[in-house]
Amino acid sequence: MNEELVLPESPLNLKEAGESEVLPRSFENSPPLIPHVIVDFLPIKIGENMCFGCHDPEAAADVGATPVPKSHMYDIRNDKQIEGLAGANFNCTQCHVVQADAPTIVGNSFKADFRNDKSRISSNLLETLNEGVE
């Protein structure tokens, strides 16, 4: 670790919610990037999540937003579907980050392998979570 490291400026150039394009995921079932400004939606609290207002599956189609996947409303520990966001999933920015037009600092040769084109823009995590587990 180097506490003296200075990262280069990275202009976000983000659009408002509803005006941005959906970017492909980095790899299958990876958390998608947030393609819009979120500063007015912060802080995200368990009882106050402005993201879910548009990304709730019941509201998403009406506002043109991507609905949160079923895995966000599933209690994995107790193996049951629940209403609303599962407790561990209320804080969107613990997994999802705002996209940035930033220079590459460290080289990366990773090439994602997707099962199909749909998995580039959506999640099927609950269906594949236990693959290979006996």
DSSP 58: H
Q: Which two tokens stand for residue 14?
A: 């983000």
| Distance between start and end Cα atoms, the chain | 39
Residue 2: its pLDDT value, please? 59
In the chain, the domains with their CATH numbers are 8-105+115-129 (1.10.1130.10)
Q: What is the mean pLDDT of residues 32-58?
A: 88
* Least reliable range by pLDDT among 7-11, 41-45, 60-64, 75-79: 7-11
Taking only the tens place, the pLDDT of each residue in 104-132 is 788 889 998 898 988 888 888 888 887 88
Closest CA to 12 of 41, 30, 31, 38: 38
Type of residue numbered 20: S
Residues found in the chain: 134
